[in-house]
Each structure stands twice: as C-alpha cells, then as structure tokens.
Amino acid sequence: MSDTILVINAGSSSIKFQLFAIKPGDQLERRLRGQIDGIGTRPRLRATDTKGECVVNQSWPINEVGELHQALDKLVVFLREYVGRLPVAIGHRVVHGGPEFVDPTPINSWVIDQLQRFIPLAPLHQPNNLAPIRIVLERQPHLLQVACFDTAFHRHHSEIVDRYAIPDHFYREGVRRYGFHGLSYEYIASRLRDVAPAIANSRIVVAHLGSGASMCALHAGKSIESSMGFTALDGLPMGTRPGQIDAGVVLYLLKEQAMSVTDIEHFLYHDCGLKGLSGVSNDVRDLLSSSDPRAKMALDYFAYRIALFGGMLATALGGLDAFVFTAGIGENAPPVRQAVADRMSCFGIELSKTANAKNDLCISSEGSPVKCYVVPTDEELMIARHTLQVLQKHEMPEERRA
C-alpha cells in the first residue's frame, strides 16, 4: 500500500481535505477529496474518490462535532478505515508567510509562533489555517507537517514592486506588498508548460477569480507583480471585500462615522465587495441570474476593475501575450470572461463566443493577437508537491526561541 500525503485547507467552520498517494517515481495520485463542514451547526463529512463517486456522506449531532478538534478526530477515524493508516505527512495552506517565510516550511512550535504574528494581516484565514496545525502538533508531534504559503510565490519581487510610498522603517518592519493566491499562480505557471507550451514563458496576466479574487503578472513562469498588497483586502473587488480603496475612506469611517477599529475590520472583510455593491449576494451565480439592476451594476464594476488591473499588469510586463482565467468564477462564468475581454479589446484580446461558452482551454478567436485561456487551478496538488519535496529532504528544523 502506498504512503499518502494529506492536504488540509481549514476554514472557520470547515476542513477541506485531499489525500494523495505517493507512487513510484515520486508521482502523486489523488485518492480522495472532501470536507467536513457545518462544524458547530450541522457537521457533515463528505468525500469522493478519483472517479467522483461518493465514499462517505455522514452527519453527526452538534455535540459530537462542535469544535475543530472533534472534526479532526472524525477525519482521522475515516482515514484509518478507508486507507488503513494515517498519512506520512500533512501539507497545510497558510495564507500569510510574512517577509521571512519564502519556502514550504516544516512546522514546529517556533514556526507556529512566528506565523501567529500575521493574524492581523489575514484575520479571515490565518487563525483557521493555524488551528489544525496546533492540534496535530499536540497529538502527533512526530508527524511531518508542512506549511505552504500563499505569499511565497510573490516573495521575489523587486523592492520597487513591494514598497509603499511611506517611510523606510515601515518597509524594514514588514509593511510591504506581499500578494496572495500564490499557490494557485504557481500551479498555473507549471500547468501552462503542459497545456500551452508556446506561451508558457511569455508575458501572461492570470486572473484568479473566486470569492477571493486577485491578479498576477507572470513572465517566464515567475510572478513579477500582483494586484494584492499588505493584506488580502487590496486589489480587485471580491465577494465581501472591497479591493482597492482610498485610505481616506477608512479615516472617514473612524472620524465621521465613529466606527471602532473592530467594526471597520468586520465591515471591510464581510460587508463590502459584490455583496455591498449589489445588496443582493456575494455569489456571482446569484448576480448573473438576478434581474435587480444593482446586480448588473456589481458585475459591470467587477469586470471593469479586472480589466483596469489587467492593463496595469500588462504595463508591468511591458506588453501582453496571453491572459488566463482561473478559480471558481474564472473557470465557470463565461459572461464575466466576455465582459473582461470586451473591455481589454484594446490590448488585442478577442474571444470565441463558442469556445468561451463551452469553457474550453483556449477561448480566444483564431485571429486574436493575445491568446486567452481557461485553466482550472489546483492549489491542493501544489501543496502536495511541496510537502513531498520536504518529506524527501526530511529536514525538520531545530526548535528555536522567538
């Protein structure tokens, strides 16, 4: 029986997971994908195998799975029954690695302490990413856990790209533009070498459009610029986050609206973006099916900002050879892609309506100077690959004092 690697992406009330078998030649084969959701409300475990067939669909009373550690216990029991033994390593998505963490990192208590410092920079994600890591470290201290960072792929930007126009000491303290969704962009860069080798090393803008949304400029497979900055609030409008916003708006909320810092944080992370614009929903599927004019306005705004940032990133690249859509909206919303392409026609993007409607790999017309693609992302596979690389090195860091 093959050894396995478990990949975990934990949220506030859910644990998404995938299980990969390590095959000869260090190949990874996906065996399971699933999640435990409704933790503390309606807990349920669902998972499918490689054929997409359901292997488990189980619910529990709230008192049995009311907290994360109980959900992890249920996951362990399921894996023991289904696979026969526990994985040899666990890879975790960690949203913020700060300035220090630029590579997949074996986890110990010192590493957790360092990552704890970045919770204020990613309050929606970082606490949930770290919670299962702590639990596993307490219960299985010798099991290799690897943190894979959404910021790492962007950590080789030039200083000009990373800086804000504020005094130098802030930059030295870590107040800088980090960029996010790096695991997704890293996977897309590697995938293009297989599905579109002719453009893989050229000047590419990738739009990761989901509930969280950002864009990245790729050149020769490396990130050179990103729409996101110090936190995951910046850049494009998202499901519930505003994207780029004048800092003066925050000052206005503080001074004129007498909102507290806590209130403003909740407002920016939960009440803005497509939800705030439309007053209807933060889900693009709901907006596309709605007859409410505010829903149309929110979608038009979304496409406009994507095109605007596309032009900025094309400037960073010194030109544009290809444009890639990925993530939930990017992979499954032809009207959004068409609206973006229409606004970027001045750059030479022209879509094939037939190919776009079918979510084909290449959705640009034959005569389009700039090629346009839809490439499904796979952050979990990227995490599994990084975890396997660390496992092969088998270099656990020495415990250090913060």
Closest CA to 212 of 110, 114, 96: 96
Contact 145, 129 (CB under 8 A): no
Gap between the Cα atoms of 260 and 250, Å rounded: 11
Backbone dihedral region for residue 254 (phi beyond 0: left; psi -120 to 50: alpha; all else: beta): alpha
Closest CA to 343 of 397, 301, 378: 301
Name the β-bridge partners of 364: 351
- 249 φ, ψ to 5°? -65, -40
Rg (CA), the chain: 21
Residue for token digits 């050879």?
321
Cα angle 193-195-200, degrees, rounded to a multiple of 5? 35
Gap between the Cα atoms of 86 and 75, Å rounded: 10
Gap between the Cα atoms of 366 and 95, Å rounded: 38
* H or E stretch covering 393: helix 379-393
Contact 60, 71 (CB under 8 A): no
Q: What is the DSSP secondary-structure string of 57-115?
A: EEE--TTTSSSHHHHHHHHHHHHHHHHSS--SEEEEEES--TTT--S-EE--HHHHHHH
Contact 182, 127 (CB under 8 A): no
Residue for token digits 């990245």?
216
Does the annotation count 286 as an active-site position? no
Residue for token digits 């700060």?
98
Gap between the Cα atoms of 370 and 366, Å rounded: 10
Catalytic site residue from 150, 234, 321, 378? 150
Cα 132 to Cα 30, 68, 211, 229, distances in angstroms:
22, 7, 23, 26
Supply the residues annotated as catalytic: 150
